[in-house]
Structure 1
Amino acid sequence: MLYDKLKTASRLKELRLEAGFTMEELAKKMKLSGRSSYAMIESGRTNLTTQNAYILAKIYNINVDYLLKSSIVNDKQVIIKPVQLEKELEKEVTYNGKALSNTDIIVLKAFLQGLTSSK
């Protein structure tokens, strides 16, 4: 799909707010001249360069395609914060049509923690 400047701008704002960054912090991380340079990108007044897309993808640990392609539906490297995971696991969770027991959920959490502890 084609690059959609406004969709990218919307995604950038969403990602920034989720991560709790200010525009000034991102401008510094991206080595831009200042907050206004980043604001121009996030508002869609300026195109996001490929170089800046890669920098932002690294900052947010997401796929560059998620920023640049208008048709991708949340193709992040599926990032779930521990708090979000806890909330989701409080609901009834099923896998392959079967509900997970409390023991299954504890094992799942331990498995996920083991995967991420070495990274």
Structure 2
Amino acid sequence: MKEEELRSRLMALTSIAAGYCSALENCRDCEREDFIRDILGFLPRIYWEFSDLSVEENPDVSEFDYFPEYVDEDYYESVRRSVEAVMGEDDVFLETFEEDMKYSDTPVAASVSESLADIFQPLYNFISVVK
């Protein structure tokens, strides 16, 4: 990839990540419908932009744990709770990919706020490194 193309790609990735993180950080100021519309706009773009990144094999580095962590547990929980407050009763959905689901007599619930905060964490770390 040429340097100019790489720079352009990095700017696009950073812009999408920053927009998503900002939407989660400021979600308490939004109506539920506006927040959902914004997040539904970001999620496919995040998937698309990050899905085709190729990572060159480096035998010295097996994981991405060498990146600094900027999101601590308290900040993660703060973001998760904010999303949970905005989503209200719509924060819970049935987890169909859970292995225990097929053996369970009761539904296995998952949280929209936790799922969105799980995406927030590496994206916030990414934009913090880029910054």
TM-score by length of 1: 0.26
Q: Give the number of the structure whose alpha-carbon radius of gyration is greater.
A: 1
> More helix per residue: 1 or 2?
2
Larger RCO, structure (CA 8 Å, separation 6 or more): 2
TM-score by length of 2: 0.24
